[in-house]
């Protein structure tokens, strides 16, 4: 048996070697490569199928596979009939294996195509040739963008540098359940892609081929043996862990790598200055555990848990990396400022021994950087452990002063080390791992991501209605918009508390107030924006401002109205204008406002064309309103994953936004399976960061032209017709639901 297995392995190795020889550069076309990639994966899978289920099933699957391919080529109905007869003749047990096999083979075919596309893209990038690539406009190379702005569009190098270091792209991860493939299976698919890419490398040795072939078979078999279906719905905490895994795997190291590429691109256009480590170029936020709009599983306890979990993950990532930094910064020359700090730290650490655990043996005085970073490591350890205790038990004996409580405190000793190295002539060393670490701290902070809170406006109305009813002044829900605004503003300008613990509360009201109490309890840097779904009027925003004050939130979250349906988008500019006309609110926002527009609900309401055109016009009008009141407006784009929910090429989507709507500041959601496609692998992460950064810069420095009047008239006419036709089918056709269920059934 062992001899037979050895012989089979040798035959497989000879087979792969023959296939690799076929792919010698210059002898095989790109399309032939795709065929070879696919053939290799299918061949390995059929070997596995034979080992697991016997030669009869391998032969059966291979015959069906060939019949399918032949029918695809010649559309001969006889082949289709033969395939149908073969499949219906199977016993039930074999039917399950065969159907699973074909599902797996389709996945392998997709993986082969992805590897081929990535290979073709690399070749195109090396050649700088995109003439025959239909997808070329959807990609943005940061260096090419910088060069085009300077050489073709007449921008000065200084203008480009200033715009770049001041712009912000905030990518907001959301947990919408559009990712149908399990994370464990996605990881296996990623390893299959990696094996395939390495097998076709030019400098691969015979031993490497054999080892990679064995690894490829293992991963294919592991994927085949993995259940494709998630049997239990994920909890919000599970969704958050899945989302945060991308930070651990690709984003954490991908951000400093990308920022270094920007440094190189700047140098290549004549800017001999690095991007400042604290430039807010890339930021990350999340809705996982904060989006409670229609999701009863997202409770105040869940919000608290995901915030603490993210902080613990951030501290752990920093803690594991500080060791390497300490090992690297072994030099003895330092500034007087750093020497004094190192001596003080030595003395204070001995005095505070009852609170601190020494992680290093006595560091020699001639290694002052290690002393400073050792203190940082201590605080990171205690930051992580205190957060872990709070997460698991709700209390911790570790004193807060032993931890980092804000990012400025974390950055200060790192900045000290950077200044000292530069002062002593060691700037090249300072611009190495230390600069990368500074950029990570500046990007991710102590919270890893900032959690947005999203709640529907009616839920806030219910809370305020309970308060006014309790106070005996009427029903807030029944008041007009003017009366609501008058009452809200009078309370916001006053100081009296509105309610106490004796306020009668339903479960829904307790949930809303509990969320605000969590916002008050946790550090302010855990949170980003408070999004109000179905916002229609200024009172929706003022209601959240009042509830934040009543729940004693020391640093209130910025409040962001979300306009989703077609009518809400049309009314959005007038609603925002009324909001800006309120003196109290203008003093509150300090000249900055964020507005979110929803792609999914507007598309479902009016159809894609009408929704896209109305969002375009709404943004134009919102910008005019903001300019009139002297407010800097940030547009938050709630894009979905599919085209029907606002998905599509990010680069083109950004460049097609109306003039003056981005101005170096962009927020956009990254939903469901789009997270995997954007950040699932290192090269995907790099391309995603590059795409958003380059397109945002290009739009800000070279905005598109406004549509001509005749174009607008035509679009208005088309939108009316499109909305009418869309609604006649989706809302008025009684058979539509039956049709929709049929075409979206898993059987098809």
Q: What is the Cα Rg of the chain in Å?
A: 29
Distances (CA, A) of 185 to 49, 190, 224, 417: 18, 9, 9, 43
Largest alpha-carbon pair distance within the chain? Answer: 90
Q: What is the DSSP string of 505-553?
A: --HHHHHHHHHHHHHHHS-GGGEEEEEEET--SHHHHHHHHHHHHHTT-
CA distance 264 to 301: 45
| Secondary-structure breakdown of the chain: helix, strand, coil percentages, each rounded to the nearest 5 | 65, 5, 25
- Provide the sign of the torsion angle of the four alpha carbons 267, 271, 273, 274, taken in this order: negative
Strands 632-638, 282-286: pairing kind: unpaired
In 3D space, the residue among 160, 400, 370 whose CA is nearest the CA of residue 267 turns out to be 160
**CA angle at 102 for the pair 101 and 104, rounded to the nearest 5°:** 65
CA distance 160 to 441: 25
Q: How many residues does the chain have?
A: 748
CA distance 7 to 618: 69
| Residues contacting residue 485 through CB under 8 Å, at least 6 positions apart | 538, 539, 542, 582
Active site residue 354: no
| 26 and 185 Cβ atoms separated by less than 8 Å | no
3-state secondary structure of 16: helix
Active site residue 126: no
In 3D space, the residue among 314, 308, 320, 319 whose CA is nearest the CA of residue 389 turns out to be 308
Strands 665-671, 168-174: pairing kind: parallel
Q: Which of 450, 460, 604, 637 is catalytic?
A: 604
Structure letter (DSSP) for residue 667: E
Q: Which of 33, 165, 176, 617 is catalytic?
A: 176
Pinpoint the alpha helices (H) of 368-434.
368-392, 407-423, 427-429
In 3D space, the residue among 194, 199, 197 whose CA is nearest the CA of residue 17 turns out to be 199
Task: State the angle between helix axes of 206-224 and 183-199 in degrees (0 to 180), rounded to the nearest 10.
Answer: 160
CA distance 57 to 96: 12
Question: Which are the catalytic amino acids?
Answer: 176, 604
């Amino acid at each position: 048996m062992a001899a037979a297995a050895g012989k089979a392995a040798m035959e497989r190795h000879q087979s792969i070697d023959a296939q690799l020889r076929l792919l010698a550069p210059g002898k095989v076309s790109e399309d032939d490569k795709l065929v070879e990639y696919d053939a290799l994966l299918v061949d390995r899978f059929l070997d596995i199928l034979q080992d697991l289920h016997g030669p009869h099933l391998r032969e059966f699957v291979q015959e069906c596979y060939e019949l399918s391919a032949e029918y695809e080529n010649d559309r001969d109905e006889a082949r289709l009939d033969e395939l149908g007869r073969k499949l219906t003749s199977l016993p039930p047990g074999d039917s399950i294996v065969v159907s699973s096999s074909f599902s797996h083979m389709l996945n392998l075919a997709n993986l082969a195509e992805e590897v081929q596309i990535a290979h073709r893209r690399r070749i195109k990038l090396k050649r700088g040739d995109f003439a025959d690539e239909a997808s070329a406009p959807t990609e943005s190379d940061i260096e090419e963008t910088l060069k085009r702005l300077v050489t073709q569009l007449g921008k000065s190098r200084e203008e480009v540098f200033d715009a770049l270091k001041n712009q912000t792209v905030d990518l907001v991860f959301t947990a919408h359940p559009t990712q149908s493939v399990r994370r464990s299976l996605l990881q296996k698919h990623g390893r299959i892609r990696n094996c395939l890419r390495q097998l076709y490398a030019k400098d691969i040795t015979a031993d490497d081929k054999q080892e990679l072939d064995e690894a490829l078979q293992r991963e294919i078999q592991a994927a085949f043996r993995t259940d494709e279906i998630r049997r239990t719905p994920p909890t919000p905490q599970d969704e958050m862990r899945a989302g945060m895994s991308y930070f651990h795997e690709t984003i954490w190291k991908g951000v400093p790598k990308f920022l270094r590429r920007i440094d190189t691109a700047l140098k290549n256009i004549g800017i001999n200055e690095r991007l400042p480590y604290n430039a807010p170029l890339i930021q990350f936020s999340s809705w996982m555990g904060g989006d409670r709009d229609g999701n009863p599983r997202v409770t105040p306890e869940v919000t608290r848990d995901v915030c603490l979990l993210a902080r613990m993950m951030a501290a752990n990532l920093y803690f594991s990396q500080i060791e390497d930094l300490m090992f690297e910064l072994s030099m003895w020359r330092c500034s007087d400022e750093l020497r004094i700090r190192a001596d003080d730290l030595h003395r204070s650490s001995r005095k505070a021994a009852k609170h601190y655990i020494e992680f290093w043996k006595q560091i020699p005085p001639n290694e002052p950087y290690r002393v400073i970073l050792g203190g940082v490591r201590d605080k990171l350890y205690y930051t992580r452990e205190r957060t872990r205790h709070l997460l698991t038990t709700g209390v911790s004996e570790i004193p807060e002063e032993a931890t980092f409580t804000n990012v400025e405190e974390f950055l200060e000793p790192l900045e000290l080390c950077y200044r000292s190295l530069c002062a002593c002539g060691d700037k090249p060393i300072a611009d190495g791992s230390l600069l990368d670490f500074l950029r990570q701290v500046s990007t991710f902070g102590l919270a890893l991501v900032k959690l947005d809170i999203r709640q529907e406006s009616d839920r806030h109305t219910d809370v305020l209605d309970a308060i006014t009813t309790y106070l005996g002044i009427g029903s807030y829900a029944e008041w007009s918009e003017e009366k609501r605004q008058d009452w809200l503003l009078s309370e916001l300008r006053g100081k009296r508390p509105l309610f106490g613990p004796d306020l009668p509360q339903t479960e829904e009201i307790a949930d809303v107030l509990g969320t605000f109490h969590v916002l008050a309890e946790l550090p302010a840097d855990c949170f980003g924006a408070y999004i109000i779904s179905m916002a229609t009027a200024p009172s929706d925003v003022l209601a959240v401002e009042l509830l934040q004050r009543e729940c004693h939130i020391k640093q209130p979250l910025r409040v962001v109205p979300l306009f989703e349906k077609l009518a809400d988008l049309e009314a959005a500019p007038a609603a925002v204008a009324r909001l800006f006309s309120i003196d109290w609110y203008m003093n509150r926002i300090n000249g900055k406002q964020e507005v979110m527009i929803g792609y999914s609900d507007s598309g479902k309401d009016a159809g894609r064309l009408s929704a896209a055109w109305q969002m375009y016009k709404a943004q134009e009008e919102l910008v005019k309103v903001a300019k009139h009141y002297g407010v800097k407006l940030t547009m938050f784009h709630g894009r979905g994953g599919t085209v029907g929910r606002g998905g599509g090429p990010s680069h083109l989507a950004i460049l097609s936004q109306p003039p003056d709507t981005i101005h170096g500041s962009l927020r956009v959601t990254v939903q469901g399976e789009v997270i995997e496609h954007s950040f699932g692998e290192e090269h995907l992460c790099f391309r995603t960061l590059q795409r958003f950064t380059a397109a945002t810069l290009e739009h800000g420095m070279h905005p598109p032209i406004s549509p001509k009047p005749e174009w607008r008239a035509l679009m208005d006419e088309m939108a009316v017709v499109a909305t009418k036709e869309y609604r006649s089918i989706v809302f008025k056709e009684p058979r539509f639901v039956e049709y929709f269920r049929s075409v979206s059934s898993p059987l098809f």
